[in-house]
Chain A
Amino acid sequence: MGLRTHYGDREILKSISVTIPRGKTTVILGGSGCGKSTFLKHIIGLLKPTSGSILIDGKDITGMKEAELNEVRKRMGVLFQGAALLNSMTLADNVALPIREHTGLNESTIQIMVRMKLDLVGLSGFEGFYPSQLSGGMKKRAGLARAMALDPEFLFFDEPSAGLDPVTAAGLDELILRLRNVFRMTIVVVTHELPSVFMIADYVIMLDAGEVIFSGSLDDLRASGNPRIQMFLERKPEQESYSPDDYFRIIAGE
């Protein structure tokens, strides 16, 4: 049982069909511009595919009305690339926002929940800070606390380690691992950072130029003979060789 997504024809994503297993960490891997962020935006319902369907628990979210979709979204948490905290609010208010909007809990309960979530990501004592007063890694962790505010079943990460130093990035990976082990959440991570892939992934989906070129476990990925995958894993640059004639044609602008 899991969620199954597929697409029809699209410029960026060409008829992708994958299944994301439940209760595991799935990493969506791929070079820049291969469509992995677009893919994520489709799964979380921000973009609508031209054709095709995205099934979550057997229900297609592409045809849903806003109200139904919001019910599904309550079960999801998303950590965006830049954390996307609301700059006009304190950390506590940011984390409390989804709780205030979707539950009728009283203020003292909300405050307790907020402190619990912030403690979970190691940000106790920062309740009254504004996002602009925090470092990049702290913002990411605060974004994670907000994503988990409603105890989601699915957690999505868009490039969690982008723009972080290796130590902070490793700390975030550790946190992701802990979430999966402790809360049994279904986690989907979009990234191109190899060290974190090997650390957190249970299942890997690799995209290249809008197509799925691999899906399977980490060991399968290492054993794969696909030259594109090997290039990615061994960090080889793309070989672009052309003859002197071609080069002449390029610089002549023909």
Chain B
Amino acid sequence: MPSIAENLFGCIGRKVIPIRRDIHDAAVIINSTFYWTFVSPFRGKPIRLRASISEMVKAGYNSVPIVAVISLFVGIILALQAAYQLKRVGALIYVANLVGVSITRELGPILTAIIVSGRSGSAFAAEIGSMKAAEEVDALITMGINPVRFLVVPKLIALMIMLPALTVFSDLIGIFGGFMLATTTLEIHPFNYFQQSVQALLVKDVLTGLVKACAFGIVITIVGAYEGFKVEGGAEEVGRRTTASVVASIFLVIVFDLFFTTLFYFFT
């Protein structure tokens, strides 16, 4: 009979050893993705431009409507919630500051990232996963084509460009939502609201938001690719991995958000 201590260590080991392998697999994907994106183009293996553009359309352009609607609503909600408190101190005009700063610094990037991880992160995992299940990834390897370069790099480029672009768009629409509510329900003069917003916003606020968005784009792509390449079996596992990729990418987006927000708080 194994002792209690042996059981305990066995239990820990069974939990930890697979994690170590997961970390290794993730590291391999991260490493090769960055190699094929940032190093190999300078060694004569260009990025697949057409595929990148088609990914940009799929991940970026096609999410414009949903990002617009959600940002508009969040802008309105934010203005309402701010007004609820600010009305009591008679400082309704500060709704402009609150909406502007919180949308550009925080809500724009994170909302966009969550929408994109739901739309594109899952699609990446499903696409790569079903290709893995159908031996298409193996076929690429035997043709001497690196699957990371072929599949992941265009997606990474697409999200690194489109996520900041969508974020700018989301910022604008969100602020417009706040503006709409403030000028109608709260009866703030449009010019006053505009001037207050311009005064409140710093270039820094928008830029930190965009840096975050770019990082989120990397996180979403890597998580989708990682879960996709992890598929070993058939269709059932593709579904499971797709769900896992959405959960993991939203979680990691928030973790990175915390990290960057802390960083920017102390260093800008």
Contact = CB atoms under 8 A, between A and B. Distances in A.
Interface of A: 41, 44-46, 66, 70-71, 73-74, 76, 78, 80-82, 84-87, 97-98, 101-102, 146
Contacts of B142: 44-46, 73, 76, 78
Interface of B: 131, 134-136, 138-146
Q: Which interface residue of B135, B139, B145 has the most chain A CB atoms within 10 A?
A: B139
Q: Which interface residue of A66, A81, A101 has the most chain B CB atoms within 10 A?
A: A101
Contacts of B135: 80-82, 84
A73 B136 contact: no
A90 to B, nearest CB: 14
A73 B138 contact: no
Contact of A102 (B134, B136, B139, B144): B144
30 contacts: A44-B142, A45-B142, A46-B141, A46-B142, A66-B146, A70-B144, A71-B144, A73-B142, A73-B143, A73-B144, A74-B144, A78-B142, A80-B135, A80-B138, A80-B139, A81-B135, A82-B135, A84-B136, A84-B138, A86-B131, A86-B136, A86-B139, A87-B131, A87-B134, A97-B143, A97-B145, A101-B143, A101-B144, A101-B145, A146-B143
Nearest to B149: A101
The 10 closest A-B pairs by CB, nearest first: A84-B139, A70-B144, A73-B144, A84-B135, A78-B142, A80-B135, A98-B143, A84-B136, A101-B145, A44-B142
Contacts of B138: 41, 46, 80, 84
Contacts of A84: 134-136, 138-139
Contacts of B145: 97-98, 101
A85 B144 CA distance: 15
A246 B143 CA distance: 51
Contacts of A71: 144
Contacts of A76: 142
